[in-house]
């Protein structure tokens, strides 16, 4: 399907009564996902492995280049269409997170990279020749307090010499490139704490073993996440994205798109969990009747459904505003928070309904339940969104 077809839909589609927009796109995603059943994901989960074949299939179909403009070899879709791809992957029982970051990390390069950088990288990212799946922001000692991050890049001639440490850098072992947020001017020398940070595009293929060491983290979900130790790593100055010292602004610019994509991906998990819960509730007979006949089973699922629908509306609204170039920080953040909580209700509902069988790996419920918890923590935690709404939307005093 061409980009023109994808974009022909009115971006105010969030007010339409259509249950699932972009039906052809959804069908195309579902067809790929059908080749990757629950068993495939269970094996990867058991061995903490990366779904290389699945990510390749998505790339070959043009889905991971969804947001790359056609002039750079991408599919040139709008944000809502890209969000629908991630939703449908998860709603099919597959896992979008091994590939989702490429969609939003690429945005920093697209919006702030030089023409030469875009020509060099974007066509190869769109074709799958290069993977841009890693985004190094979080650090062990500073966490959510991003502007205090300690990874330092000092310019020496044609290179930046980088020293520091990142944590929870997902997919770094399965990516060719990493977008790295570093401090180029010490915070004491900056007027604002948000100044003096810069974004570097690190070629992991060259960096590994030459100042960069990546170690996997054994985590609750199979997110292929890592910690990264950086010692005297040399990054060519030509790999600086945009202007030195403006990196924090560039990262913030991409946040709304990231929130909207993640919200919709999360809703996909919620839909899958709810569907499985309802099927099981209707099939499982205990005390001579289906368990779904009991209101104690029905009500939590009905509530999760309603909250998912509300999150979906907010997510559509945020995407429509984004596409019109309107400020949408409020809507994007609310969509992400609402989606994370609605999906968690669906996950809890699915565990409730499945009883003991919810714990059996064969059913896939416990895996999705674990995976559904991440949205309350990453890429931004619930409390940070609540304080954003409290301060920037409702106008109360800053708490940090
Ligand atoms: C599986 C996984 C994958 C991830 N992938 C990536 C990645 O690819 N790249 C990357 O850069 N990061 C990644 N992260 C990191 C993630 O973005 C952070 O974990 C998250 O932003 C929270 O930071 P933290 O863990 O340091 O928590 P902290 O900042 O230490 O906070 C701990 C808790 O305290 C709360 N808190 C902190 N300050 C306040 C306050 N002032 N008021 C109220 N509550 C507060 C937080 O909301 C949180 O709940 C990933 C994390 C996980 C778990």
pLDDT surpassing 80 at residue 15: no
What's the mean per-residue pLDDT of the chain? 95
The pLDDT of residue 365: 98
User: Helix, strand, or coil here: 160?
Assistant: strand
Looking at domain 132-245, which CATH architecture does it have?
A: Beta Barrel (2.40)
pLDDT surpassing 80 at residue 381: yes
Residue to mutate, 45, 150, 204, 379, ligand 1, most ligand atoms under 8 Å from C-beta = 379
**137 touches ligand 1 (CB under 6 Å):** yes
Stretch 183-203: mean pLDDT, rounded?
Answer: 98
**399 touches ligand 1 (CB under 6 Å):** yes
pLDDT surpassing 70 at residue 12: no
Q: How far apart are CA 270 and CA 268, in angstroms?
A: 5
User: For residue range 291-321, what is the model confidence (pLDDT) as tens digits?
Assistant: 999 999 999 999 999 999 999 999 999 999 9
User: For residue range 33-81, what is the model confidence (pLDDT) as tens digits?
Assistant: 999 999 999 999 999 999 999 999 999 999 999 999 999 999 999 999 9
Equal CATH topology for 132-245 and 249-393: no
**398 touches ligand 1 (CB under 6 Å):** no
Over the Cα atoms of the chain, what is R_g? 21
The pLDDT of residue 6: 54
CATH superfamily for domain 3-127? Acyl-CoA dehydrogenase/oxidase, N-terminal domain (1.10.540.10)
Q: How far apart are CA 150 and CA 143, in angstroms?
A: 11
Residue to mutate, 131, 174, 377, ligand 1, most ligand atoms under 8 Å from C-beta = 377
* Structure tokens given for 257: 């798109």
pTM value?
0.95
Asked if 109 and 122 count as a contact pair (C-beta separation under 8 A), the reply is: yes
Domain limits of the chain?
Answer: 3-127, 132-245, 249-393
N-terminal to C-terminal alpha carbon distance within the chain: 47
pLDDT surpassing 90 at residue 186: yes
Between the CA of residue 200 and those of 86, 119, 160, 226, 360, what are the distances in Å?
A: 27, 17, 9, 19, 44
Give, in words, the CATH class of 249-393: mainly alpha
**141 touches ligand 1 (CB under 6 Å):** no
Give the atom of ligand 1 at the shortest distance from the alpha carbon of 138. 11
Which residue from 335, 329, 260 is spatially nearest to 104, judged by alpha carbons? Answer: 260
């Amino acid at each position: 399907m061409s980009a023109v077809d994808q974009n022909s839909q009115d971006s105010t589609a969030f007010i339409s009564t259509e249950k699932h927009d972009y039906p052809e796109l959804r069908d195309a995603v579902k067809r790929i996902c059908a080749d990757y059943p629950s068993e495939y994901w269970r094996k990867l989960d058991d061995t903490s492995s990366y779904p290389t074949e699945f990510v390749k299939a998505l790339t070959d179909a043009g889905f991971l280049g969804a947001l790359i403009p056609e002039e750079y070899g991408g599919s040139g879709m709008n944000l809502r269409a890209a969000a629908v791809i991630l939703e449908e992957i998860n709603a099919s029982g597959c896992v979008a997170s091994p590939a989702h970051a490429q969609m939003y990390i690429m945005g920093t390069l697209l919006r702030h990279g030089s023409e030469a950088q875009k020509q060099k990288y974007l066509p190869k990212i769109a074709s799958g020749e290069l993977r841009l799946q890693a985004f190094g922001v979080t650090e062990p000692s500073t966490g959510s307090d991003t502007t205090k991050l300690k990874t330092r890049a000092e310019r020496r001639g044609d290179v930046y010499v980088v020293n520091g440490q990142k944590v929870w850098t997902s997919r770094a072992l399965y990516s060719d490139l990493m977008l790295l947020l570093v401090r180029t001017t010490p915070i004491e020398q900056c007027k604002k704490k948000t100044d003096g940070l810069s974004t570097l595009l690190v070629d992991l293929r060259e960096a590994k073993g030459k100042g960069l060491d990546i170690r996997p983290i054994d985590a609750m979900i199979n997110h292929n996440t890592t910690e990264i130790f950086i010692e005297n790593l040399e990054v060519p100055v030509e790999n600086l994205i945009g202007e030195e010292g403006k990196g924090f602004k560039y990262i913030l610019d991409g946040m709304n798109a990231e929130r909207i994509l993640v919200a919709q991906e999360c809703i996909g998990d919620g839909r899958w969990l709810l569907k499985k819960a309802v099927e099981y509730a209707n099939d499982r007979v205990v005390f001579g009747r289906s368990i779904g006949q009991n209101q104690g089973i029905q009500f939590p699922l009905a509530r999760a459904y309603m909250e998912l629908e509300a999150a979906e509306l907010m997510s559509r609204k945020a995407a429509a505003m984004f596409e019109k170039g309107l400020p949408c920080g409020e809507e994007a953040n609310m969509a992400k928070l609402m989606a994370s909580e609605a999906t968690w209700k669906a996950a809890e509902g699915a565990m409730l309904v499945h009883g003991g069988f919810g714990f059996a790996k064969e059913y896939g419920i416990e895996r999705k339940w674990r995976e559904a918890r991440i949205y309350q923590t990453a890429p931004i935690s619930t409390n940070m969104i609540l304080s954003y709404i409290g301060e920037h939307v409702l106008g109360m005093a800053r708490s940090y």
